[in-house]
Structure 1
Amino acid sequence: MNNIFSEEVDSDCNKLINWPLNILMLCWEFPPNIVGGLSRHVFGLSTHLAAMGHEVHVLTSGNNGLQSFERMNGVNVHRVKPLNDRDDHFLSWIAGLNLAMAFKAEQLTEEIKFDFLHTHDWLVGAVSIALKESLSVPLLTTIHATEHGRNNGIHTDMQQFIHDKEQQLILESDQIIVCSEYMRESLISIFNAQDEKITVIPNGIEPLKIERTIEDIFPDLKQRKYIFSIGRIVKEKGFETILEAAAFAKEKELECFFVVAGKGPMLETYQKQITARNLDKYVAFVGYITDEQRNAFIQGSEMAVIPSLYEPFGIVALETMILGKPTIVSNTGGMKGIVTHCHTGLLMVPGDAKSLLEQIDFLMNNPEKGEEIGRKGREIVKSLYGWKRIASETNRVMEDIVLNKRVNENEQKITTNNM
């Protein structure tokens, strides 16, 4: 940014600071439509930005069962149905969603002058890039994950298509937010992204409420010790490592029972493997659970395991840690930045069942140390990952974007007037 300002520019910039901003957020999922962590992230961020006094509009996908508009926790939520909503082809569905969002955004901008756009991942990248140009506003993008990272490379035409869309969005964005240093390094190495465009702001979490006990929800677990894990049931989350650990536990006759919660395309496959390998006494995949059930599962567990092979951040680790449970995470991605081994959690070798069992064995044989690790983990999450703090950091990035745009516009005016 040019450091030479006229009095007129200084005046305009000072007026802008602490002004409420008109923010248009675009995302493909938003509560109650929850597919992964992105939905919860946008909800937490948008509600806290609204609480700070900003006018926040979220543009997202909807269906016949959801209201096309509602005000949730101070946030204006606009839901659109993709033009080809019944198309089973994912990319066609995404294209229809972007078109529907573009039409809705055009309607909104007839009444609202937005200060900038904040988009989340490539799925809404096309409409975001188009709106940036048509509205002449800056584009802030949060990259939550990459196709290269999820698949450990690009191997298919579909993956290449998504990778190219991510590249385009990163290139067109005025500023980028990522959730970890790991993700910053990934964007620089994979996409040759400009370091100065990237800001690291972690995901946030709200304190979890315990309203019911696990015995109330799942009586079969009454008085039973278990290790809990949760996440979208896809290959990159590493749940095969838990299956292998269960097989080792069976072979060595260890008292070790895993409960894995979540939905996803690999769920049925894993459930069939449990039956085929006769592991029913050592591991159970229980499928989708509500937030209330999740909290009860965490609270009732001995410890938690997040065995991801790829994890840009690891918000599920925050959920177990904030309830004071000693948590074992893979030494990979953003999670290794959250957990300090034997202090706020334990680190395991990604994909290594024996390494996982070593950490479990340590916690079982050192219960007092486990309690200490759980307590310190909770303290670090509460101090560093509260949504109020995360929203404040994001707000500073947003203010910089708006200030920079205003300064550039005023400098152009001055240059034009002096010609």
Structure 2
Amino acid sequence: MPHSMATALAKLGFEIVPFITDRPTGPTRVHRKALNRLRTLQKQLCVTPIRKWLDDRAPSKTRRRVIDPVTLRSIRIECQLAELERLNQLPDAIFGCCISSSLYALETNLPIIYFSDATSYIIRDTYPGLMNRGEAHIQTLHQVEHTSLKRTSSAIFASPIVRDSAIKDLGINPESTHVVPMGAHVTPADPTVIEAPTPPPTRDHCDLLIVASDPIRKRVDLALDATEILRQRGINATLHIVGPGTPRSNASTAAKPLGRLQLSDPNDRQTHQQLLRDCHIQLLPSLGEAFGIAPIESAHFARPSIVANAGGLPFVVLHNKTGLVIDRDESPVAWADAIESLIDNPDHYRDLSRNALQRARDELNWDAWGHSVAKIITETIATQR
């Protein structure tokens, strides 16, 4: 995301001065991968009850493990700002994506424009990595974010639910908040060849797609259940799965697992683009989702999505306009019914296809994001001069 954001702002004439918040010199890429694997293994070996117990056994140590690194990040930014001021190159403002850990102890008179697609409260309730930590660790993260957001001049959030959390849970001034949706990571190589409406699914041919780096939270098996129900109803449905999948989905004849796709690999990116273009509907029955970029990617190919009403998904997919939104607690039968309703009503599918593509081109792209954020940055700077 930060690269897409920097690119969008640079296209509008902003000069981007990157700050280095980690060590200026550090491990090589290979070493970083090895360290990340070791950390992942450590987390897997340290089961949840033990991790929570360790967090809460010595709360002062837990607090220091969070506070010390974020304070150091702030100090590094202050040092870089001092050097820029010495060179008479001080920027007009500080902008950052998900930088609450860098702002915690930052002392500056520059306006700060903050962007995020989540709050620590949403992450706590959505992602296992934080749900499995002790209360001392979680409360320290809340404190860091609360302190950091008080330093911001303007705070931009990817969806209304995140803004609401920042106002309610973190006490940010509502008048300083904005909502600007993000763009997609995967878009057509040539957008001009995408036309709406796209061909609707039929009982003889229904390709479904789920993109799930976390197959448990995004409920790959529920999507598979719905696909298998469709097959029992005589519909030739196939679920294409991008991500690690589950043991069941990797063995099912109703699924086509593709594993992880690396977008930095041209072949993998092309495969992903082809899936987005060919699959009639993207499914995202997530238990929790801060925003949800995957449905936006399908929309850029004029393909609607069916999603759960979790987190920011009802903002990303507008019910009965750019796709369908289903209650998170509904059964796989309800998901199968929703898919079948679009098969039986191709005109409705075509309307969703047209609307999804139009909204993707009008709002859910990085150029649109850049124009909206540029206006907020410019107004914030002017207000604080």
Question: Structure 1 stretch 320-329 or stretch 310-319: which is displaced more?
Answer: 310-319
Could you say what secondary structure the match of 1:257 adopts? strand
Aligned residues of 1:257 and 1:283 also touching (Cα < 8 A): yes
Q: Hey, what does 1:64 align to over in structure 2?
A: 28
Q: Is the 8 A contact 1:226 1:256 kept in 2?
A: yes
Equivalent in 51, 57, 61 of residue 11 of structure 2: 51
1:334 to 305, 312, 323: 312
Give the drift of 1:232.
2.8
Answering whether residue 372 of structure 2 is matched by residue 393 of structure 1, we say: yes
Equivalent residue for 2:384, pick from 382, 405, 409: 405
1:10-29 to structure 2, matched below 5 A, reads none
Q: Hey, what's the Cα distance between the residues in 2 that align with 1:186 and 1:178?
A: 10
Secondary structure of the residue that 2:16 maps to in structure 1?
strand
Q: 2: CA distance between counterparts of 1:86 and 1:103? A: 27
Partner of 1:274: 249
Q: In 1, distance between residues paired with 2:220 and 2:334?
A: 14
Aligned partner of 1:304 among 282, 296, 301: 282
Q: What is the RMSD computed on CA atoms of the aligned residues?
A: 3.6
Which letter does structure 1 place at the counterpart of 2:226? A
Q: Which residue of 2 aligns with 1:113?
A: 90
Q: C-alpha displacement at 1:54, in angstroms?
A: 1.4
Shift of 1:235: 4.1
Instruction: Please list the CA deviations of residues 175-226 of structure 1 after superposition, one character each: whole Å capped at 9, or x if unmatched.
Output: 2110121211122222232211211111134882248xxxxxxxxxxx9752
Structure 2 spans left out of the alignment, 5+ residues: 44-61, 191-203, 264-268
* CA distance 1:345–1:156, shift in 2 (3 Å): same
**Kept after mapping to 1: 8 A contact 2:287/2:308:** yes
- Aligned counterpart, 2:341: 362
Paired with 1:86 and 1:274, the residues of 2 have a C-alpha distance of 25
Give the deviation of 1:144 after TM superposition: 1.4
What is the correspondence of 1:145-156 to structure 2 with a 5 Å cutoff?
Answer: 145-152=118-125, 156=133
Is 1:348 the counterpart of 2:326 in the alignment? yes
User: Structure 1 counterpart of 2:90, which letter?
Assistant: K
TM alignment of 1:22-101, pairs within 5 A: 39=1, 42-59=2-19, 64-65=28-29, 88=39, 99=72
Offset from partner CA, 1:212-265 (integer Å, 9 cap, x none): xxxxxxxxxxx9752012143264434343244345456666532211213xxx
Note the C-alpha offset of 1:285. 5.6
Partner of residue 22, structure 1: none
Query: Are the counterparts in 2 of residues 98 and 127 from structure 1 also a CA contact under 8 Å?
Result: yes
**Cα distance, 1:382 vs structure 2:** 1.0
How far residue 284 of structure 1 moved from its aligned partner, in angstroms, is 2.9
Deviations 1:298-350 (A, max 9, x none): 11212211222323332221110111112212223322124333332112222
Identity, in percent, stands at 18
Structure 2 Cα separation of the partners of residues 148 and 63 of structure 1: 32
Task: Give distance in 2, aligned partners of 1:279 and 1:85.
Answer: 31
* Structure 1 pair 151–97 and aligned structure 2 pair: CA distance change class (3 A): closer
> Which structure has more RCO (C-alpha within 8 Å, separation ≥ 6)?
2
Q: Which amino acid aligns with 1:143?
A: S
Specify the code of the residue in structure 1 equivalent to 2:122.
G
Deviation at residue 392 of structure 1 after TM alignment: 1.9
The alignment status of 1:260 with 2:237, answered yes or no, reads no
> What runs of 5+ residues in structure 1 fail to find an aligned partner?
1-38, 67-80, 212-222, 407-419
Please report the TM-score for the alignment, with normalisation by the length of structure 1. 0.67
Residue number in structure 2 paired with 1:288: 261
> What is the one-letter code of the residue matched to 1:391?
G
Q: Hey, what's the Cα distance between the residues in 2 that align with 1:287 and 1:309? A: 21
- 8 Å Cα contact 2:295/2:304 also seen in 1: no
**Cα distance change on mapping 1:63 and 1:100 into 2, 3 Å:** farther
The DSSP-based 3-state class of the residue aligned with 2:237 is coil
Where in structure 2 are the equivalents of 1:107-256 lying within 5 Å? 107=80, 109=84, 110-111=86-87, 112-121=89-98, 124-131=99-106, 133=107, 135-152=108-125, 156-157=133-134, 158-205=137-184, 208-210=187-189, 225-233=206-214, 235-246=216-227, 248-249=229-230, 254-256=235-237
- Specify the SS of the correspondent of 1:163: helix
Q: Distance in 2 between matches of 1:402 and 1:137?
A: 9
TM-score normalised by the chain length of structure 2: 0.72
In structure 2, the CA distance between the partners of 1:99 and 1:234, relative to structure 1 (3 Å rule), is: farther
Residues 250 and 282 of structure 1 are in contact (CA less than 8 Å); yes or no, is this contact kept in structure 2?
no
